[in-house]
Amino acid sequence: MSALVTYQLRGSIAVVTIDNPPVNAISQKVRAELDAAVTRLSEDTNAVAAVITGAGKVFIGGADISEFGKPPQAPFLTEVLTRLEDCPKPIVAAINGAALGGGLEVALATHGRVAVSSVSLGLPEVTLGVLPGAGGTQRLPRLIGTDAALDIITTGKPVKGDTALALGLMDEVSEQPDLLDAALRLAEKIAQAGAPQATGLRALPAQPANGFDSIRSKVKASAPGQVSALKAIDAVEAATKLGRTEGLAEERRLFLELMETPQRAALIHAFFSERKAAHQPDVAGLMPEPFTEIGVVGGGTMGAGIATAALSAGLTVTLIERDQAAADKAFETISGNLAGAVKRGKLSEEARQSILAEKLTTSTSYDALSTSDILIEAVFESMDVKKQVFAQLDAVAKPGATLATNTSYLDINEIAASTTRPQGVIGLHFFSPAHVMRLLEVVVAEKTSPAHTARAFALAKRLGKIGVRAGVCDGFIGNRILSHYKTATDHMVMDGASPYDIDAAVTALGFAMGPFQVSDLAGIDIGHAARQRRKPFRHALERSADYADRLFENGWLGRKTGRGFYIYDTNSQKGRINPDVLPLIEAERKAAGIKPRHFSMEEIQRRYMAAMINEAARVLTDGIAQRPSDIDVVFLSGYGFPRWRGGPMHFADSQGLAKVLDDIRSFASDDAHFWSVAPLLEELVANGQTFNDLNKASTKDTNS
Ligand code: 3H9
């Protein structure tokens, strides 16, 4: 096997290059070769210093995550980096691209750092269920102070080169192609000044300004249930009390402890699942037709959000509305969305002005869409309306344009059949707010061509979204499964559970919100409309549970009317219980002749999860999702599923599928129709298999 770390002299300075595509991850072989390069530098009489850099676009993307969960193999990165830091000749990092996790830890162990201003520098380990385990928690506080270090370590969020310079994390910022020369100059300068300074041997860093406990409380509130960030704080606290050797040993101990947790396995599963979602066997190798212009039909919340996402990604947008007033309103909404990005520091005000002036056109005529490459419809959810829109799009769109619908449940095959170009019709199901939510269901209809599918995935990537392929059915992947477990909650309410107990049980699992908080946010009218739509198709054995319609009839539509299952006082996002809801539910139970019973928190959680998993198994059998990990990605990125539980399929595997099957069979004793077991689940249990076995069979190992 060829070398993954090369060593070449440039005058009296060695250039050490990590070359392990695609992201220069630090595998066991890279660790061994880096270690050897440091030894060679110490012994090389022709070299006075070295520069470490990465080949390609990334500096180092971190430790090789695919090795996690396997027995650790020497040399360990933490030891390699101590030897690097103690090298008598200075070593400077020339950070040509992202330096993340172990990648930044390599840079922290060097004696000087030069970076390109656009690079991302960060320690995302806590988002993978571990902590920086190669000195990051010990060296970063010594370099930039405990408060700034804690912020980077506990959030896992990267900073850019300029910010890193201001923090003292970088010594210099230099743009390509001068980066390497700047690093060589810095290496020479440090060599001339005498023995290099080891960051790990600097004085103990100070305590954080408000103490460690205040940081712990903040972390507990922002990521409830997640353990990695709390352990990372413990490691940083050790840095403020212990010298380098003891501090690194404590960091390693905590790192190895986290390595063994189910949360680590779940978070690594989430990482690889997100990447695997983009792997589409039937479009592999296809170069999608380029696109620069996006057409959007409809400027409501969704259309304006889609336009904002496209504009933020540097694309040109033409948005059409039915009249000038609506077009102007859409322009204002988009302008406001972009102002939000300015507020969050993601965009400059100057850039916002130039986007609005140069990249966005609003119009009332379909003709304005004749040059668009991808046209996305976001109008009212009605088949007749959508068909009319698609007839118009078919008439004006240029040949080869992709025609997409943002429907969340309508039959895209039927929409496609109403055009003369069904091969170009696809579903792009964005989630609201479309410029914020990362999930994009790419709904591939019967006649959609691979070329248009490839283009839709390229669009998802360009927008910074995770595209997940779905097939056509009522609700696609996410909403179909949601509708099923929501029905399970409705049955529990009718049988005696209170919506508030259900929300508490679900948030206790780590979900961002409970189902009734979600109803209030989405609007109780949305659920009402869905029930009305499905009523004619109800199975004779299906239980009715329409109590939420009573809220709808009272005009309690949730947050938008200030009252739903909860009451939202002025300026309060967090609602308080609406005392009129329980009597109303009680009346419904009475009318249905139901004697309410008690539901424990555990039973609520088991029913909720079992309904989700059972329907997800059917979604797989029906070919609506390609692989279990895609369902996990949908729930993690679109439905507030706690990331550290890995998604519903990973959760099912971690509980044991036999246990889930037992639960479903026992719940079937009071409603055999609703709780009929998905055949796939029975089959997996009979064969002693897991959902992850199906992931492995679908593509390469997820390494979880
Ligand atoms: C760590 O460092 C622990 C330390 O403290 C050490 C303790 C001892 N390993 O994202 P992309 C694969 S923890 C293995 O599409 P991009 C990825 O699966 C680590 N594989 O590229 C994909 O494979 P495939 C901390 C990795 O250009 C391919 O590379 N580091 C790793 O959009 C391309 O990935 C992180 O958390 C890895 N570390 O973005 C950073 N990284 O083609 C994780 C990627 O088969 N990585 N792969 O699907 C990233 O954030 C992005 O990959 C990066 C490039 C920004 C680097």
pLDDT in tens, 102-152: 999 999 999 999 999 999 999 999 999 999 999 999 999 999 999 999 999
Ligand 1, atom 46: closest residue by C-alpha = 61
Is residue 243 over pLDDT 70?
yes
Q: 282-306, pLDDT tens digit by residue?
A: 888 889 999 999 999 999 999 999 9
Task: Determine the atom of ligand 1 nearest the C-alpha atom of 700.
Answer: 45
285 C-alpha vs ligand 1 centroid, how far in Å?
A: 22
- The answer to whether the peptide bond before residue 642 is cis (omega within 30 degrees of 0) is no
Q: How large is the average pLDDT for residues 380-409?
A: 96
Concerning whether 105 is annotated as a catalytic residue, the answer is: yes
Report which of 135, 144, 145 is spatially closest to residue 235, judged by C-alpha positions: 135
Separation CA 596–CA 586 (nearest Å): 9
pLDDT of residue 1: 65
Q: How large is the average pLDDT for residues 641-670?
A: 97
Q: How large is the average pLDDT for residues 96-100?
A: 98
Domain ranges of the chain: 5-266, 291-470, 478-703
Q: How large is the average pLDDT for residues 184-194?
A: 96
Q: 685-704, pLDDT tens digit by residue?
A: 999 999 999 999 886 544 44
62 C-alpha vs ligand 1 centroid, how far in Å?
A: 7
Separation CA 181–CA 92 (nearest Å): 11
Local confidence band at 335 (pLDDT 50, 70, 90 cut-offs): very high
Locus of tokens 């990973």:
650
**DSSP annotation of 198:** P
Q: How large is the average pLDDT for residues 639-644?
A: 94
Ligand 1, atom 51: closest residue by C-alpha = 61
Query: DSSP E strands: which ranges in 238-396?
Result: 293-297, 316-320, 360-363, 374-377
Task: Determine the atom of ligand 1 nearest the C-alpha atom of 132.
Answer: 5
184 C-alpha vs ligand 1 centroid, how far in Å?
A: 28
Using CA of residue 492, residue 493, residue 496, residue 497, what is the dihedral sign? Answer: positive
Task: Determine the atom of ligand 1 nearest the C-alpha atom of 64.
Answer: 9
The preferred substitution site among 35, 57, 65 for testing ligand 1, maximizing ligand atoms within 8 Å of CB, is 65
Choice among 218-232, 441-455, 600-614 with the minimum mean pLDDT: 218-232
Distances (CA, A) of 185 to 42, 112, 113, 143, 190: 19, 11, 11, 22, 9
Task: Determine the atom of ligand 1 nearest the C-alpha atom of 78.
Answer: 8
How many angstroms from the chain centroid is the CA of residue 372? 29
Task: Determine the atom of ligand 1 nearest the C-alpha atom of 156.
Answer: 36
136 C-alpha vs ligand 1 centroid, how far in Å?
A: 17
Ligand 1, atom 8: closest residue by C-alpha = 133
The preferred substitution site among 18, 20, 23, 127 for testing ligand 1, maximizing ligand atoms within 8 Å of CB, is 23
77 C-alpha vs ligand 1 centroid, how far in Å?
A: 17
pLDDT of residue 567: 96
25 C-alpha vs ligand 1 centroid, how far in Å?
A: 7
Out of 85, 125, 274, 441, pick the active-site residue.
Answer: 125
Ligand 1, atom 27: closest residue by C-alpha = 23
Separation CA 478–CA 482 (nearest Å): 6
Pocket of ligand 1 (CB under 6 A): 22-23, 25, 58, 61-66, 77, 98, 100-102, 105, 124-125, 128, 132-134, 136, 272, 275
Question: What CA dihedral angle connects 554, 558, 563 and 564, to 10 degrees?
Answer: 70
Ligand 1, atom 33: closest residue by C-alpha = 22
CB 580 within 8 A of CB 555: no
Tokens for 601? 């928190």
268 C-alpha vs ligand 1 centroid, how far in Å?
A: 11
pLDDT of residue 704: 42
Local confidence band at 568 (pLDDT 50, 70, 90 cut-offs): very high
Q: Please give the helix or strand (H or E) that residue 40 lies within, else none.
A: helix 28-43
Helix locations, 315-449, DSSP H: 324-343, 349-358, 383-396, 412-417
Q: 206-226, pLDDT tens digit by residue?
A: 999 999 999 999 999 888 888
Q: What is the overall mean pLDDT for the chain?
A: 95
The angle subtended at Cα 110 by Cα 251 and Cα 58, nearest 5°, is 90
Out of 33, 43, 79, 105, pick the active-site residue.
Answer: 105
101 C-alpha vs ligand 1 centroid, how far in Å?
A: 9
Q: 50-65, pLDDT tens digit by residue?
A: 999 999 999 999 999 9
% of the chain surpassing 90 pLDDT = 89
Residue 693 β-bridge partners: none
Q: How large is the average pLDDT for residues 491-501?
A: 97
Is residue 629 over pLDDT 80?
yes
Q: How large is the average pLDDT for residues 422-435?
A: 96
The angle subtended at Cα 590 by Cα 587 and Cα 596, nearest 5°, is 105
Class of the CATH domain delimited by 5-266: alpha beta
Q: Per the confidence metrics, is the pTM higher than 0.90?
A: yes
Separation CA 505–CA 292 (nearest Å): 46
Task: Determine the atom of ligand 1 nearest the C-alpha atom of 65.
Answer: 9
pLDDT of residue 702: 40
CATH number for the segment(s) 478-703: 1.10.1040.50
Q: How large is the average pLDDT for residues 362-369?
A: 98
Rounded to two decimals, the ipTM of the complex is 0.99
Ligand 1, atom 43: closest residue by C-alpha = 61
Concerning whether 553 is annotated as a catalytic residue, the answer is: no
Class of the CATH domain delimited by 291-470: alpha beta
